[in-house]
Amino acid sequence: MNRQTIVRSTSRLSALMNAIAVMCLLGSPAWAESKNEKAFHAVAVDAKGVETDVKNVIFYYEEKISETAFVPHELREVPVKRGTATVKIKFEGIKHIDLKPSGNGTPPHVAITLHDGKTGEFVLAIAGSFKGQSDFGEVELPAAELKKLTFK
């Protein structure tokens, strides 16, 4: 092999490796989402009785870490209090959630019905909201302003 052949084969190999790296970086979030995270679909009824069809539902809240910094959290579970314990009920097991506002800015009381028929009364552990996509764009529904959330 002469010097030009070595340079050409090295640059081709480098270009191929760069292309593979870019594909992995761009494709990995989509692959991770399709493998690990199931998209949930629900119908929400707010305090005014308006129904909203929400796709890719998540439970969202922001954790304050300083006066000017917040950490966003996107969960596919509902954190609730049962006595002093915090229970994280996964969306995949929930049939519907009935929410009762508690007033005075505290998180609402929730009655959760599972697919197997079990029900439980809890207090929402975190004052968050349910976010997702509606037919008209991204929607955010504060839990304190909801009456019911039914998973499909």
Total of domains in the chain: 2
In this structure, the answer to whether residues 88 and 125 fall within a common structural domain is yes
Question: Which range of residues forms the domain containing residue 10?
Answer: 1-36
Beta-bridge mates of residue 121: 111
The pLDDT tens digits for 37-61 are 789 999 999 999 999 999 999 999 9
The answer to whether residues 48 and 116 belong to one domain is yes
In a shared domain, residues 32 and 47: no
Same-domain check for residues 23 and 48: no
C-beta separation of 26 from 137 below 8 A? no
What's the CA gap between 5 and 1, in Å, rounded? Answer: 6
Quote the CA–CA distance of 34 and 123 in Å, as a whole number: 32
Q: What is the pLDDT of residue 101?
A: 81
Same domain, 79 and 118: yes
Distance CA 96, CA 41 (A): 11
User: pTM score > 0.85 for this model?
Assistant: no
Q: Which amino acid type is present at position 130? A: F
Q: Are residues 28 and 48 in the same domain?
A: no
Residue range 97-134, pLDDT digits in tens: 999 987 777 889 999 999 999 999 999 999 899 999 99
